[in-house]
Structure 1
């Protein structure tokens, strides 16, 4: 073993992945693999204002399709006995390697569940006038044993997608600067991508293996979400980078900060947080109507970016007695007069017009209520917050 953290939840091995895999005994619940794509063929991309090579190194070069197939079959076969019968594997790629991976997984007896398209919201421009810009990667999700039921966090994936089943196209950004504070890897995956994969296919306390760990993004995501990690890589430099990243999140304040950042998503569902007096809140829940002042009055709602992604409303009284409900229509509101609200038994008195949000008062999504709803004068202001603020990372 190259490294084991004090909490024993982050274990690293240095060496040839196939050889190390053959020596491991512990079975794991999920495997995430980011193998060589074999795209280092002299191509170019635009980085900043310069044209740079896409070549990653000799490890990313292949002289034939047969070589790629043999490589993929060998590491997949080596992973197979370490994965529990009800376990799943995720493998990343582009068109350079993904068809080979799919074939080799089937040869090893795996059953394909989904092929995810990761659509990069901020892709690097690729050079050339004879093709579209390369802006996507693909992730195969497969289960080891077609006869064993694999784990899929169906309800959470629905809630994160506004109450409807999440599609197989994920629009997420590439690696941000906040993920490179300890250093960077040339093929580093974004934590936000691993966040979704880990939540979708594992439970708290389960073990995740990455046979091509690199800078250990898989391990950082696993530990941030309460899972255990086993990683393998040939490069000591990259494993040392992964260790630095692990030590970084051992600081509690840094852990909380990173948990919040990892859950952020430019396409994320949002929540309207609204204070109401106790009796008014009770009437809102009874009628399924949440209202806020509109017009030139103190405390009126300012429609900001994120309103169009709003799918929930949280009602509270001065930061206490918080209750979350799903809106009947995403990102939509109506303008009502004072008289219209009075017809439903309300007694508004501060404005002529009100913004009205209708919600389903029969269902209460199971999310954690954050402890910072109460924040002095801001407690009484309506505000839009990301749904990730309401996630309990100890129970996902």
Structure 2
């Protein structure tokens, strides 16, 4: 069972299968150096939304308007990105790897910071959504994908890649860098007692399954800084 702990009370070691509540940078700074095999990060997108968005029937779209996704400017977002990626690199094992997912709003800025900090980019993966939300205003193309960047801690890292496992998951063919998977729907979507979704950008288990199967070994430790 997952236990929720205050990260500020944990120093020098940590428990696995545990949620640490707190600022992600402060929490990572309390983890031992070189203790994590894989990091999957779904950071704030910095969507820069202006006003409410409505469907054709005038119902309001429950989008991302939380304070954690609001930054005063691009510089503030870049500074935040630099800080959490620096902390993440410290806790990664030498041969560990990091996956970060984002949209067109932020993923290019994240990629630049990754390279500045010494990460070595391995692939960009396109998650093509089989059931994307349409562009209700009709002013742009339907935003039907997100991008994952997969990178090693450094250029000389001997990272894990389970090539054969990925091939077996793809009918014996080499796994490509474009994955068609649905958004979270139905029972998979976490909801509160009021029926509203608990997380505005919940990712499907099928996406995480591929990431973990591709880049970890049995017994490896996986960290999600933005659970």
- TM-score normalised by structure 1 residue count: 0.50
Q: Which residue of 1 aligns with 2:24?
A: 17
Q: Which residue of 1 aligns with 2:12?
A: none
Q: What SS does the corresponding residue of 1:155 show, helix, strand or coil?
A: helix
Would the aligned equivalents of 1:56 and 1:186 in 2 still touch at CA under 8 Å?
no
Would the aligned equivalents of 2:190 and 2:199 in 1 still touch at CA under 8 Å?
no
**Cα 1:131–1:203 shift into 2, 3 Å:** same
**Cα 1:47–1:174 shift into 2, 3 Å:** farther
Would the aligned equivalents of 2:64 and 2:200 in 1 still touch at CA under 8 Å?
no
Tell me how far apart the structure 2 counterparts of residues 58 and 182 of structure 1 sit (CA, whole Å). Answer: 20
Spell out the pairing of 1:237-248 with structure 2 (5 A cutoff). Answer: none
Spell out the pairing of 1:129-144 with structure 2 (5 A cutoff). Answer: 129-144=138-153
Q: What SS does the corresponding residue of 1:50 show, helix, strand or coil?
A: coil
Give the number of the structure with larger relative contact order, counting CA–CA contacts within 8 Å between residues 6 or more apart: 2
Tell me how far apart the structure 2 counterparts of residues 90 and 47 of structure 1 sit (CA, whole Å). Answer: 36
Between Structure 1 and Structure 2, the one with more strand by share is 1
**Cα 1:25–1:167 shift into 2, 3 Å:** same
Residue 148 of structure 1, aligned match among 157, 165, 170: 157
Q: Which residue of 1 aligns with 2:10?
A: none
Tell me how far apart the structure 2 counterparts of residues 172 and 48 of structure 1 sit (CA, whole Å). Answer: 27
- Per-residue CA deviations over 1:70-122 (Å, capped at 9, x if unaligned) read 11001000111100011000001011110111011111100110111100001
Tell me how far apart the structure 1 counterparts of residues 145 and 54 of structure 2 sit (CA, whole Å). Answer: 15
Q: Which residue of 1 aligns with 2:195?
A: none
How far has the Cα of 1:148 moved from its partner? 2.1
Would the aligned equivalents of 2:44 and 2:69 in 1 still touch at CA under 8 Å?
yes
Residue 66 of structure 1, aligned match among 53, 57, 75: 75
Q: Which residue of 2 aligns with 1:32?
A: 40
**Cα 1:49–1:128 shift into 2, 3 Å:** closer
Would the aligned equivalents of 2:54 and 2:60 in 1 still touch at CA under 8 Å?
yes
**Cα 1:181–1:34 shift into 2, 3 Å:** closer
Q: What SS does the corresponding residue of 1:138 show, helix, strand or coil?
A: strand
Tell me how far apart the structure 2 counterparts of residues 195 and 176 of structure 1 sit (CA, whole Å). Answer: 17
Q: Which residue of 2 aligns with 1:189?
A: 203
Spell out the pairing of 1:303-382 with structure 2 (5 A cutoff). Answer: none
**Cα 1:188–1:40 shift into 2, 3 Å:** farther
Gaps of 5+ in 1: 214-396
How many pairs are equivalent? 210
Tell me how far apart the structure 1 counterparts of residues 183 and 112 of structure 2 sit (CA, whole Å). Answer: 27
Note if 1:202 corresponds to 2:216: yes
**Cα 1:181–1:73 shift into 2, 3 Å:** closer
Greater Rg, structure 1 or structure 2? 1
Q: What SS does the corresponding residue of 1:128 show, helix, strand or coil?
A: coil
How far has the Cα of 1:180 moved from its partner? 2.9
Tell me how far apart the structure 2 counterparts of residues 65 and 96 of structure 1 sit (CA, whole Å). Answer: 10
Q: What SS does the corresponding residue of 1:127 show, helix, strand or coil?
A: coil
Gaps of 5+ in 2: 7-14, 193-197
Would the aligned equivalents of 1:88 and 1:150 in 2 still touch at CA under 8 Å?
yes
**What is the root-mean-square deviation in Å for CA atoms of aligned residues?**
2.1
Would the aligned equivalents of 1:119 and 1:169 in 2 still touch at CA under 8 Å?
yes
